[in-house]
Amino acid sequence: MKRIVFLTGAGMSAESGISTFRDSDGLWEQYSVEEICTHEAWLAHPAKLLDFYNMLRRKYMNCKPNEGHRLIGSLEDMFDVYVITQNLDNLHEQGGSKKVLHLHGEMMKSRADGEDNGIHYPLDPANPDIKIGDCNAQGVQLRPHIVFFGEAVPNLEKAAEIVSTADIVVIIGTSLNVYPAASLITYAPGSASIFVIDPKPIRSPYREFTQIQKGASEGMRELIDHFL
């Protein structure tokens, strides 16, 4: 069975109502990265960051997977499918994907402040907020299980290993000029077929690829037609 590896970014979930950060109407137009998405900001004013991510979590927690997510999940009948996503949502899992690696963390989990030791705490959908004073059993303050700008990406090495075993790589909703997708594509075997699904023209200095210049769901339909 061939292995197909999906690398997905914000454009994957846009059709589900989750705003991208970098587009003109994205979240970075409304909030400063330095204020709500750096380790320095967390140390300086943790309550402000918790309030922001509590708001974001409540805003998006009821979003549903779109057709693109579900089509990726459906391919598990024909391929050994891995999904490597930069997204914080769990829409791939809801869409039926069983092997999902989150590069930048997960919105519905928390972890103790300090180094990421792999111990994460699922948040209760009925009460998903994290507050100052919420601690683990050792009394350490809990924070969102999110990789802030400037922090290491713990799963990057594992992601590179997965890409290095791919027969097919499909990149959806993330630019090939933005870390880490730009670096991960270099690990794909020379024999691997590479597809990019994105409505905007994409260029890469690293590898040749076939672009399907459409959104996630429409692009996945065309990709499946290509395979079938």
185 and 199: one domain? yes
User: 52 and 77 share a domain?
Assistant: no
DSSP β-bridge partners for residue 109: 122
Query: pLDDT at position 206, please?
Result: 74
Per-residue pLDDT, averaged over 184-209, amounts to 90
Active-site pick, 104, 120, 145, 226? 104
**Together in a domain, 131 and 225:** no
Q: How many domains does the chain have?
A: 2
- CA atoms of 73 and 29, how far apart (whole Å): 32
Residue 56 DSSP symbol: H
Q: How far apart are CA 61 and CA 42, in angstroms?
A: 22
What is the CATH number for 201? 3.40.50.1220
Closest CA to 183 of 209, 156, 210: 156
Q: Which amino acid, one-letter code, is at 223?
A: L
pLDDT at 79 over 70: yes
Instruction: Check if 69 is active-site.
Output: no
Q: Are both 23 and 10 inside the same structural domain?
A: no
Residue 228 pLDDT class (50, 70, 90 cuts): low
Assess whether 27 and 56 both reside in one domain: yes
CA 105, CA 155: separation in Å to the nearest integer? 9
Q: What's the DSSP call for residue 154?
A: T
Claim to verify: residue 116 and residue 29 sit in the same structural domain: yes
Q: Are residues 28 and 10 in the same domain?
A: no
pLDDT in tens, 134-168: 999 999 999 999 999 888 888 999 999 999 999 99
pLDDT at 30: 64
Find the largest Cα–Cα distance for the chain: 54
For 15-24, 76-85, 113-122, 144-153, which range has the lowest pLDDT when averaged over its residues? 15-24
**Domain span including residue 118:** 19-62+110-146
Q: Encode pLDDT of 24-67 as tens digits.
A: 455 555 667 677 888 899 999 999 999 999 998 998 888 999 99
* Residue 176 reports pLDDT greater than 70: yes
Same domain, 92 and 170: yes
